[in-house]
Structure 1
Amino acid sequence: MAKRFGFKMYLKPGFKEEYKKRHREIWPEVAALIKSTGVYDYSIFLDEESNTLFAVQKQEGDQSSQDLGDNPIIKKWWAYMSDIMETNPDHSPVTVPLEEMFYLK
């Protein structure tokens, strides 16, 4: 059964274009790992007023991209992104899960 998972992250001010560039050039191994968790539809939006990134994933199974934190490739990606995002001490992005309030099919 497909699930939707939403969360927010935080972009540092002034890095909108760099964030877009890095995701246009996402490492193939990162994309493959995310897909291996069952994520088949993943979008990230930016609220420029607050620099909040809003992410939505559709996934099969019980895993999401947020469950890949022990993978060395993901750790390397996090370190690469840590200069433009708010991160935790391990370089993982600060993420806040969001409760779905409405879905129109």
Structure 2
Amino acid sequence: MSATSGEKATPVRRFGKLITLRPEHREEYLRLHAKAWPEVLATITACNLRNYSIFVEGEVLFSYVEYIGDDYAADMAKMAADPVTQRWWRLTDPCQEQTEGAVPGEWWTPMREVFHHD
């Protein structure tokens, strides 16, 4: 994001998170994400998330996303309140299991960034 007319640019915040994929739901999870619903994708964008990716290795899912807004908590509350996203989560959440390092109030386990290079 660039600053114009003296506006202060909001710095991009990067998030890496982990969760475990339940092996018995693996194919369902991959099928859902191969054809993610357009309404869910629009909500992700409307909530100031960019470059959202989910990677899988064995039973581990790793997500990476960049946040470009100025109120992460409000944007995440907006996403959580979206009825279509709630329906999506009702399908995807049973495919996942929290890791041992899960934080109360977070479904995916947040990771600490230890290196970044632009």
TM-score normalised per structure 2: 0.71
- Code of the aligned partner of 2:13: K
Flag the structure with larger Rg.
Answer: 2
1:63 aligns to what? 72
Distance (whole Å) between structure 2 residues aligned to residue 94 and residue 59 of structure 1: 18
- Alignment deviations for residues 39-85 of structure 1 (CA, whole Å, 9 cap, x no partner): 1201111120xx12110001201438x81222222211111123322
Residue 35 (structure 1) shift:
0.6
Which structure has more helix as a fraction of its residues?
2
Count of residue pairs the alignment pairs up: 98
Name structure 1 gaps, 5 residues minimum: 88-92
Distance (whole Å) between structure 2 residues aligned to residue 14 and residue 102 of structure 1: 34
1:1-105 matched pairs, under 5 angstroms: 1-48=11-58, 51-61=59-69, 62-63=71-72, 67=76, 68-86=79-97, 94-105=107-118
Distance (whole Å) between structure 1 residues aligned to residue 88 and residue 41 of structure 2: 11
Q: How many percent identity over aligned positions?
A: 31
Distance (whole Å) between structure 2 residues aligned to residue 97 and residue 14 of structure 1: 24
TM-score normalised per structure 1: 0.78
Which secondary structure does the structure 1 equivalent of 2:22 belong to?
coil
Name structure 2 gaps, 5 residues minimum: 1-10, 99-105
